[in-house]
Structure 1
């Protein structure tokens, strides 16, 4: 703290607002979720700004800036903030260590995306707003908060040389979004936009699958073209529009 202000006060205020928004939009539930982003102080030292444990169950997403934690990477020392560090810090640190471009990590329990996370089928990615995240695969199951889960996610990213941003489905557990930006704050806002738009896509993909099963349509459609069908989905093929992303928007 300096000049009577908390360490990274504005960044923590912003994170508290994001937590409340995610809960109000039902993009996670009381079973959990955790969000973080990178921040650097005036001396060039890096920290992780992160939500505390029990954010969901105990506080229902109603957090003050003081409850957002400032964490020293790797030592996992909480240098500022009221509350305890979530055990899911291992997965967040694994993401940051995997790729220096990753500046924000968002794990949530968005309901429609979680549907796909229980199917072991990659979510068809059909909307223009979600095209930038490309394939949305389901990873192998590992218990939440485990080192095994951190290893599975980081290994998948490295072996597939995933570009940022991307989104992964954690089997029976939720979604994992890694984002980048000029600052950590910008990156967490990008991750939030991905969470919101992919949740819409998850419902659309489900309904397109139903229409095919009923014989109303003959495949998954995106931007005016057929990009896959149910047989390809059942085979585990990643279904997404590979056309060049149109200029404009973000």
Structure 2
């Protein structure tokens, strides 16, 4: 069993991540999103479908096989358990998953267009490659989950995917890092759309990824 202290810490971090997303202005007007945090090899915490004003007591504990172990989820929220489970099964190092309908990133999902990595924040926060598109399937369905799993297998280093005609799915080592990447991706999508009006965005020069990593390493040393 996971220590109660660990559960409480993870819950507080999820609440903090939701607050970060709203403060950054990257959420859809509806406030719809779902966030999760891994507790151990078999369980994770999951939010309800709308996270504005989220409180730790609203989180449910669910198993990777789809059972609600503690707390409550509406049928709408329960649909997405398998989507989060697919990430945790495929990526043992992932500690948190965030799904949003962030407007600019969702525009790329609607267009079925990968989001290029052409802003430094995306490099710095863990997405040093294009964000791929997962083919459409009904939310939480076997078709959708298989699509996510297939893309993760083909793209073993991506930390995000666009769900066609739906939204954004981001995953990382913890709730805070994952929220920062959501913000970086949404800002990058906004910049891509704006740059299209003045001739289009331009790729990084060769060696940019290595240069950014070297810069981070120098500061961290």
Bin of the TM-score, shorter chain as denominator length: 0.7 to 0.9
Note if contact 1:34-1:50 (Cα within 8 Å) is conserved in structure 2.
yes
Higher helix proportion, which one? 2
Root-mean-square deviation (Å): 2.8
Unmatched 5+ stretches in structure 2: none
**Matching residue of 1:26:** 25
- Distance in 1 (CA, whole Å) between partners of 2:194 and 2:66 is 46
How high is the TM-score relative to the length of structure 1?
A: 0.73
Note if contact 1:37-1:48 (Cα within 8 Å) is conserved in structure 2.
yes
Note if contact 2:38-2:44 (Cα within 8 Å) is conserved in structure 1.
yes
**Matching residue of 1:209:** 196
**Matching residue of 1:144:** 139
User: Offset at 1:76?
Assistant: 1.6
How many pairs are equivalent?
210
**Matching residue of 1:105:** 97
- Distance in 2 (CA, whole Å) between partners of 1:161 and 1:138 is 11
Note if contact 1:125-1:205 (Cα within 8 Å) is conserved in structure 2.
no
Q: 2:175 aligns with which of 181, 188, 195?
A: 188
Unmatched 5+ stretches in structure 1: 181-186, 213-218, 228-240
> CA, structure 1 residues 161+77, in 2 after alignment: closer, same or farther (shift >3 Å)?
same
> Which aligned segments of 4 or more residues in structure 1 are displaced greater than 6 angstroms?
none
Q: 2:47 aligns with which of 37, 45, 51?
A: 51
Note if contact 1:107-1:175 (Cα within 8 Å) is conserved in structure 2.
yes
User: Offset at 1:75?
Assistant: 4.9
- Distance in 2 (CA, whole Å) between partners of 1:73 and 1:157 is 17
